[in-house]
Amino acid sequence: MPSIVTQAIVLRHADYREHDRMLTLLSPAMGRVEAVCRGCKRPQSPLLAASEWFALGEYVLYAGKGRMNVSSCNVTESFFPLRTDYDRLLYATYLLSVAEAAAQPGERAVELFTLLARSLSRLAYTEKDPKAVAAAFLLHFSAISGYRPRLSHCVRCGRRVEDGEIRLMDIENGGLLCGRCQGSLTAARPLTPAQAQWMRDVLEKGIDKTECLPADAPGALLGEYVEARLEKPIRHEGLWES
Ligand SMILES: [Zn+2]
């Protein structure tokens, strides 16, 4: 069986037998991959760094005994500073959970891989507000997954929504509601004009170029929006409060 070489990020690891770990990887070419990392818990194992959460590198995999296995890895990025800042670590771990819930085995995930790697890098190496970085990840994730929220026209009637009438976002239908449609029964959540503008600006220019305030990033709302689309709950205790 020939080996497979792929870039990957470790989304999770679990103990597996005495010296091994089972890794959940995100690969741009292969989507979500479960692979045994044999011997990585032995002292001095060259695979230890490759089996840590957030590790990004070039993994060499082979199929054997009905499983994928890691035979070697060149770790190019460990995002080490995440381990020294509890707050940033929480948001980074949340992004891994979203990626794990979204990625499918055998389905290409090039855009998700790139988005995750860039977002982890912002959390680890910049002073950017971690809440805003995580909210931007959720927003871009929605866009690349085909459910970019509608932020200028009403999702119910299609009418243009003026800033002055923005009060609600319809989670179920994926966008703003105009003044006339706000009374209709729907899974709608409060949204301010500044939050709507933050989402428009970040979609257009990216989190690095937006001049909108991080405080206007609607993280909790976008988290709920993504969970509704994935139809999976994702642990987020304490992330969006305060
Ligand atoms: Zn309407």
Rounded Cα distance between 217 and 188, Å, is 17
Q: Are strands 168-170 and 175-176 parallel, antiparallel or unpaired?
A: antiparallel
Query: Cβ contacts of residue 208 below 8 Å, gap of 6+?
Result: 122
Return the ∠ at Cα 231 (arms to 52 and 124), rounded to 5°: 30
Segment 185-228, tens digit of pLDDT: 777 899 999 999 999 999 999 999 999 999 999 999 999 999 99
The pLDDT, as a whole number, for residue 64 is 87
**Ligand 1 centroid to residue 189 C-alpha, Å:** 15
**Ligand 1 centroid to residue 156 C-alpha, Å:** 5
The pLDDT, as a whole number, for residue 208 is 94
Residues of the chain short of pLDDT 50, as ranges, are none
Rounded Cα distance between 170 and 154, Å, is 9
**Ligand 1 centroid to residue 166 C-alpha, Å:** 11
The pLDDT, as a whole number, for residue 86 is 94
The pLDDT, as a whole number, for residue 84 is 95
The pLDDT, as a whole number, for residue 184 is 73
Look up the CATH architecture of domain 4-77. Beta Barrel (2.40)
The pLDDT, as a whole number, for residue 1 is 65
Cite the residue boundaries of each domain of the chain with CATH code 2.40.50.140.
4-77
Segment 140-160, tens digit of pLDDT: 999 999 999 999 999 999 999
The pLDDT, as a whole number, for residue 101 is 97
